[in-house]
Amino acid sequence: MSTTATHALLLAGGGGGAKLAEGFAKALPPDALTIVVNTGDDEEFHGLHVSPDLDTVMYALAGLINPETGWGVKGDTLAALEMLERLGAPTWFRLGDRDLAVHVRRTQLLRQGWTLSKVTRELCARLGVRHQVVPMSDGPVRTRLITDAGELAFQEYFVRRRSEPRIRGVRYEGASAAMPSEAFLKALERANVLVFGPSNPVLSVGPVLALSGVRERIASFQGCRVAISPIIGGKTLKGPAAKNLTDLGEEPTAVGVARRYQGLCDIFVLDTEDLALARRVAALGFRVEVMPTVMATEEEKVALARRIFQMAGVG
Amino acid sequence: MSTTATHALLLAGGGGGAKLAEGFAKALPPDALTIVVNTGDDEEFHGLHVSPDLDTVMYALAGLINPETGWGVKGDTLAALEMLERLGAPTWFRLGDRDLAVHVRRTQLLRQGWTLSKVTRELCARLGVRHQVVPMSDGPVRTRLITDAGELAFQEYFVRRRSEPRIRGVRYEGASAAMPSEAFLKALERANVLVFGPSNPVLSVGPVLALSGVRERIASFQGCRVAISPIIGGKTLKGPAAKNLTDLGEEPTAVGVARRYQGLCDIFVLDTEDLALARRVAALGFRVEVMPTVMATEEEKVALARRIFQMAGVG
């Protein structure tokens, strides 16, 4: 096992990605980790810029995340939202009061000309998050779903329609013209392990891979690349990843996920429950590792992080 | 006493003006009243457009006003503000969660190109306010104080510095170029009674009078003009009106207030406590009426409103 100084680059959406980000942050010092977060599901609500995945990761690392929902701030209240509802604003996207404050602040700083990267750095610093949490891009990228119910903005599909419409395709609007953020580019150069978090390969990691030059840079990445399947036993712990793959005519299992990362990844991590899929994933050209990947506790998050570093030879 | 159909135009700031607005709204049907509100103390906080006087009047008429402070929403909470503070935003201007929602919504609609008049109409309608509450202008007017502590924006002076710095002068920035709002102009034509509410003559009514053409239009107003002194026994019930007059070398009594409205007003209402000033105010050319003007209860607000209409010959 090598003793190279670790620098990990974690690609994350909300949910599973945020949990693994917590484990990484507990296992590594701040300067050894860059967490690159999907911004394809950013949206404007009430004229405010909301970055759901960035916030989920930020709240998770700040110890503020609502453990019941997996998003939003624990103990948050809905006084402002109730007033917004009374004022006739659409309120299907549930924003707590503390959460709203974050969007208010972010929007103010963005309007002052700050990049989303700089805003995120500032918010994280204020909330005591010492590890680097960075948007995948400072350019506007918006994931849009082509569905049986017409083309939908991401949050329309995901929150308002509860991922129910069948999707026929996905557009990462603006992605091919959007540059990766500076910190993302730097981490792609500097990191010796790149990890695809257990996030939705279509909706969370898809937008990251669609950015200008990212697929090529990951294909030629110098270090070890590891992917964790967000689908276990044919089901997603949370979110529509399995359903999305089915809708798109792909296999709704870890094999379907692995196919999406072919040529971009060295090690594919299967949950012990999916041991039976090991041979098929290996046949796609991956080194396969099998281990418990469900992260219900803090210990499990850190344990998974450490095992990833070990298998990547950087632990 | 005439039986002309009443249409009242009330000029109001926050505080006393809002209380009288409540009395007017209880005494008159919606189409018989236009409440024109000072916007000189509007300010941007956290990138949001805050209209303190408009909100105070709106909350008062909606039955939402916090009776303890005389501003803000009763029972409001401070979860968002606490988070904004944690995020490093200046929070000396106390915004409750429900109040914040109003500013978020207002800002969103303004950015969509709505005028402040239209936004105010919408917010009022949503909160069940049926009487017309209108900004004095849709143009930007900002009251600025020239003080011993330098030039200060209104809220810097009024809230942050608690009106403590001595003022040497007042600038109503933008006022001479700002047109009165359409509804204000219409009410100036249509109303048969115009009332200067018991608001600060320098900081609340001053900006209204500084608008392009307003002084002239009030000077040639067709109906009866009535002013209620916000200073009783040499003191303001709330706010720095008496202190402002002193600072500016004027008399900090109802007489000082009356001097400001000379040529613009027919009837000057003194509180019974100020009976001794009646002769001096009359000498300035006013018809003087003396009556209780403190509005502690709803009954007192309505009673004062009715007495004003009666003395103006429109009740």
* pLDDT one-digit tens code per residue, A206-231: 999 999 999 999 999 999 999 999 99
Which site among A50, A55, A86, A127 would you substitute to test the B interface, given the most B Cβ atoms closer than 10 Å to its Cβ? A86
Burial of B222 per CB tally in 10 Å (0-12, 13-18, 19+):
exposed
| pLDDT above 60 for A1 | no
Residue A294 amino acid letter: V
Q: Of A283, A267, A169, A278, which is closest to residue A226 (Cα–Cα)?
A: A267
pLDDT at B5: 85
Distance from CA of A56 to the nearest CA of B (A): 16
Average confidence (pLDDT) over B11-32? 96
Sign of the dihedral through C-alpha A292, A69, A175, A24: negative
- Average per-residue pLDDT for chain B: 96
| pLDDT above 80 for A6 | yes
Q: Which is more confidently placed, B238 or B222?
A: B222
Which are the contacts of B40, defined by CB distance < 8 A and separation ≥ 6? B136, B141, B142, B143, B154, B172, B175, B203, B204, B206, B207, B208
Average confidence (pLDDT) over A113-119? 98
Burial of B306 per CB tally in 10 Å (0-12, 13-18, 19+):
middle
Average confidence (pLDDT) over B124-143? 98
| pLDDT above 50 for B2 | no
**Composition of chain B by helix, strand, coil, percent to 5:** 40, 20, 40
Which are the contacts of B276, defined by CB distance < 8 A and separation ≥ 6? none
Distance from CA of B48 to the nearest CA of A (A): 8
Residue B45, chain A, CB below 8 Å: the answer is no
Average confidence (pLDDT) over A137-144? 97
Residue B87, chain A, CB below 8 Å: the answer is yes
The predicted-structure confidence for A25-79, as pLDDT tens digits, reads as follows: 999 999 999 999 999 999 999 999 999 999 999 999 999 999 999 999 999 999 9
Average confidence (pLDDT) over A151-174? 95
Residues in A closer than 8 angstroms to B48, CB to CB, are: 104
Q: Which is more confidently placed, A238 or A28?
A: A28
Domain ranges of chain A: 8-41+130-146+171-311
Helices B79-86 and B97-111 cross at an angle (nearest 10°) of 70
Q: Do B83 and A89 touch (CB under 8 A)?
A: no
CA-CA distance, B150 to A122, in Å (whole number)? 31
CA-CA distance, A69 to B269, in Å (whole number)? 60
Residues in B closer than 8 angstroms to A82, CB to CB, are: 98, 101
Helix (H) or strand (E) segment spanning residue B184: helix B182-190
CA-CA distance, A52 to A65, in Å (whole number)? 12
pLDDT band with cut points at 50, 70 and 90 for residue B15: confident
Nearest-by-CA chain B residue for A82: B98
pLDDT at A14: 86
The predicted-structure confidence for B143-166, as pLDDT tens digits, reads as follows: 999 999 999 999 999 999 999 999
Residues in A closer than 8 angstroms to B80, CB to CB, are: 80, 97-98, 100-101, 104
**Do B264 and B209 meet the contact criterion of CB atoms below 8 Å apart?**
yes
Six token digits for residue B279: 């002769």
What is the value of ipTM here, to two decimals?
0.94
Q: Of A314, A289, A286, which is closest to residue A190 (Cα–Cα)?
A: A314
Helix (H, G, I), strand (E, B) or coil at A2: coil
pLDDT at A5: 85
H-type helices in A43-158, by residue range? Answer: 52-62, 79-86, 97-111, 116-126, 154-155
Sign of the dihedral through C-alpha B54, B56, B61, B65: positive
Considering only the beta carbons, identify the residue of A82, A88, A105 that sits closest to B126: A88
Phi and psi at B36, nearest 5°, equal -100, 125
> Please, which residues bridge with residue B35 across strands?
B10, B133
Q: Of B204, B311, B177, which is closest to residue B261 (Cα–Cα)?
A: B204
pLDDT at A74: 97
pLDDT at A167: 96
**Do B231 and B197 meet the contact criterion of CB atoms below 8 Å apart?**
no
pLDDT band with cut points at 50, 70 and 90 for residue B4: low
Residues in B closer than 8 angstroms to A96, CB to CB, are: 79
Which are the contacts of B79, defined by CB distance < 8 A and separation ≥ 6? A76, A77, A79, A96, A97, A98, A101, B97
Which site among B104, B108, B119 would you substitute to test the A interface, given the most A Cβ atoms closer than 10 Å to its Cβ? B104
Q: Of A101, A129, A142, A306, which is closest to residue B77 (Cα–Cα)?
A: A101
pLDDT at A3: 47
CA-CA distance, A261 to A268, in Å (whole number)? 9
Helix (H) or strand (E) segment spanning residue B86: helix B79-86
Average confidence (pLDDT) over B214-230? 97
Residue A48, chain B, CB below 8 Å: the answer is yes
Measured in whole angstroms, how far is the alpha carbon of residue B308 from the centre of its chain? 17
Residues in A closer than 8 angstroms to B111, CB to CB, are: 47
| pLDDT above 70 for A162 | yes
Q: What percent of chain A has pLDDT over 70?
A: 98
Residues in B closer than 8 angstroms to A64, CB to CB, are: none
CA-CA distance, A10 to A314, in Å (whole number)? 14
Average confidence (pLDDT) over B63-72? 94
| pLDDT above 80 for A2 | no
Residue B162, chain A, CB below 8 Å: the answer is no
Q: What percent of chain A has pLDDT over 90?
A: 95
Residue matched to tokens 């970055």: A51
**Do A250 and A259 meet the contact criterion of CB atoms below 8 Å apart?**
yes
Q: What is the DSSP letter of A152?
A: E
- Domain covering B8-41+130-146+171-311, topology: Rossmann fold (3.40.50)
Phi and psi at B311, nearest 5°, equal -70, -25
Q: What is the pTM of this model?
A: 0.95
